Amino acid sequence: MSNGEHRHLWRIVFRNFINSFKPRQIRGNEIGKDYIGNKYYEIPAEPNSGRRKPSRWYDPPKGLDFQDPIPAEWEAWLRMRRVEPPTEEEIAKNVAIAEMKKLNAEKIEAQRLADGGSLPSPIEKGQQSFPTYKEFYGGDPENKFRK
């Protein structure tokens, strides 16, 4: 390597170092948007250029930076467990099912309280909080470790 090529190499290294601090402009195809406001993007696979899998990511709405969980159907798409992104009908159906489950849980809890049930007490930590079965301890759960 002559001196001219050596200087040129350090110029390339320095330029790459400076460029690493600049934000990258990644351009992908916008695939969809969920009810939270997350936008989902994809760069398709290009086997000819060496990219075997597509790149997928999402951008949360401003102010909600990665705080809310991602809906299950979109997470499956992001993690490559499904090929096609979820449709609007599928998303609407899953939201309706979740709302129905929430209403049913409220009705069951109201019925339990109306029947004289009390609020659930916090579970105590420790060995006593686990169930004991008579058939495993010879009918005497208190002597379970004695012989």
Q: Residue 107: what pLDDT?
A: 94
Q: Where are the domains of the chain?
A: 26-86, 91-118
Both structure tokens of 13: 């290294």
Q: Could you tell me what percent of the chain has a pLDDT over 90?
A: 27
Give the pair of three-digit tokens for residue 145.
């470790």
Closest CA to 86 of 56, 124, 115, 116: 56
- Distinct helix (H) and strand (E) counts, the chain: 3, 3
74-126: per-residue pLDDT in tens?
999 999 999 999 998 998 998 899 999 999 999 998 888 888 776 666 555 55
Closest among 90, 31, 35 to 58, alpha carbons compared? 31
The whole-angstrom separation of Cα 33 and Cα 40 is: 6
